[in-house]
Amino acid sequence: MTAAPADSPSDQSGQSVPSAQDEVVDLLVELIRINTSNPTNPERPAAEWVAAKLAEVGVESQIIEAAPGRASTVARIEGADSSRPPLLIHGHLDVVPADAGEWSVDPFAGEIRDDYVWGRGAIDMKDMDAMTLALVREWQRTGRKPPRDIVLAFVSDEEAGGRQGAHYLVDNHADLFADCTEAISEVGGFSISLSEDARVYLIQTAEKGIHWLRLLASAPPGHGSMRHEQNAVTNLARAVSRIGDHDWPIVITDTVKATVEGLAALTGRDVDAADPDSWLPMLGGAARMIGATIRNTANPTMLEAGYKVNVIPGRAEASIDTRFLPGQEEQMLAVLDELMGPGIIRETIVSDIAVETQFEGALVDAMSAALRAEDSGAHALPFLMSGGTDAKSFSTLGMKCFGFSPLRMPADLDFMSLFHGIDERVPVEGLKFGVRVLDRLLADC
């Protein structure tokens, strides 16, 4: 087992240097203050900031733009054995917008209050960016090396599907990642309290696929005062209503089955994966997200038609956010075609793959051990996420991708509600815990 991270590390001359735990909060605050709201605020300033922080400790990096301002920073840390396949650590620099009027604090001030760091990106996912940077900076200052090479990718555009971020890097700069076989990134490694003495740390091994659709209805336009047998708005509205009201059947994937079996073993309860009511409540605030991973989903999100109240438009559009389980895309689209009915055309806005990997291997063992070393009540389990991450892109290069941004969270904090939510924040002690866990992981992987 790796020794606990030093509280006061020293450089090779014996002089004291800042530890990762010392730096992580300040780094996160600085990064939150760089407003990278997608799509209005390009990531270039944050990418340059990352490059500068790496350069301060002697790490060379390159900034790659997919479009003006849409920048990612990539670097490689030499390990003790560069013949081994490297580990990729990737994190996105962009965030979703935030309306300051809805928040208790300025969402881009990086305020520290009540032992939390507040701000857009504190959870999604500038916290992991800061933890990674803090740890790399400490290791570089002290002369430590990971067992194998580490590739770092701080990327743009994840919040809009990654076409100008991870997808662009994979399509145009795959050589930077070609020898990586495993990767870690966001949405995993966070705690859910089962009791005072037991916590589940969910590690993401799978995520649903994305298929955003535009539905189009057409009919002859006309005057609003006259009777019309066909109306694009009502035709589309009926289709949207059928889709929104559809009760998708439960489908239990291998990953969800593993999650439920793990919960059963930890709690001693007799639960049935096909009966979500028997096990979802155990997951607290995460139940809503994981509850969306036992079926395909299709949610109408946008409607557009017409330009004047007394004119019947000849065209109406709707946007549908569909998410499919691994192996379910074709079946889901076939059901949607039936629900749409005649006269409705569907077009793809964005589509991306589902991802699923096995919860096994040396890296999984190292993640579990690192968590247990910092929390004796830790129990690592795999889970399927309802959203999407840049793992969709990097997995196409043959990597096994895991969501592992370790955080020990207060039992009463609704962690999942903070993603894209109001008053997004992360506990200071949770950040320091995450740094210690990552330190152990990278020393053992």
- Model pLDDT for residues 109-145, shown as the tens digit of each residue: 999 999 999 999 999 999 999 999 999 999 999 999 9
Is the model's pLDDT at 225 over the cut of 90?
no
Instruction: Note the pLDDT tens digit of each residue in 365-423.
Output: 999 999 999 999 999 999 999 988 999 999 999 999 999 999 999 988 888 888 889 99
Find the distance separating the first CA and the last CA of the chain, reported in whole Å.
11
Instruction: Note the pLDDT tens digit of each residue in 34-76.
Output: 999 999 999 999 999 999 999 999 999 999 999 999 999 999 9
Q: How confident is the model at residue 10 (pLDDT cuts 50, 70, 90)?
A: confident
pLDDT of 6 reads 52
Residue 443 burial (CB count, 10 A)? 18
Q: How confident is the model at residue 7 (pLDDT cuts 50, 70, 90)?
A: low
What does 143-192 look like in DSSP terms, one character per residue? T---SS-EEEEEES-GGGTSTTTHHHHHHH-GGGTTT--EEEESS-SEEE
Residue 363 · residue 205 · CB < 8 Å: no
State whether residue 19 is helix, strand or coil: coil
For the chain, what are the domain ranges? 20-188+384-444, 210-249+297-351
Instruction: Note the pLDDT tens digit of each residue in 152-190.
Output: 999 999 998 899 999 999 999 999 998 999 999 998 999
* CA gap 30, 419 in Å, rounded: 20
Question: Long-range pairs for 332-337 at CB < 8 Å and ≥24 separation?
Answer: 332/211, 332/296, 332/298, 333/211, 335/246, 335/248, 335/296, 336/213, 336/243, 336/298
* Architecture of the CATH domain 20-188+384-444: 3-Layer(aba) Sandwich (3.40)
Nearest Cα to 88, choosing from 169, 180, 179?
180
* Architecture of the CATH domain 210-249+297-351: 2-Layer Sandwich (3.30)
- Tell me what percent of the residues of the chain surpass a pLDDT of 70: 98
Average pLDDT of the residues of the chain: 94
User: What is the pairing mode between strands 150-155 and 87-92?
Assistant: parallel
pLDDT of 1 reads 36
Structure tokens at 282: 């155990």
pLDDT of 13 reads 67
What pTM was computed for the model? Answer: 0.91
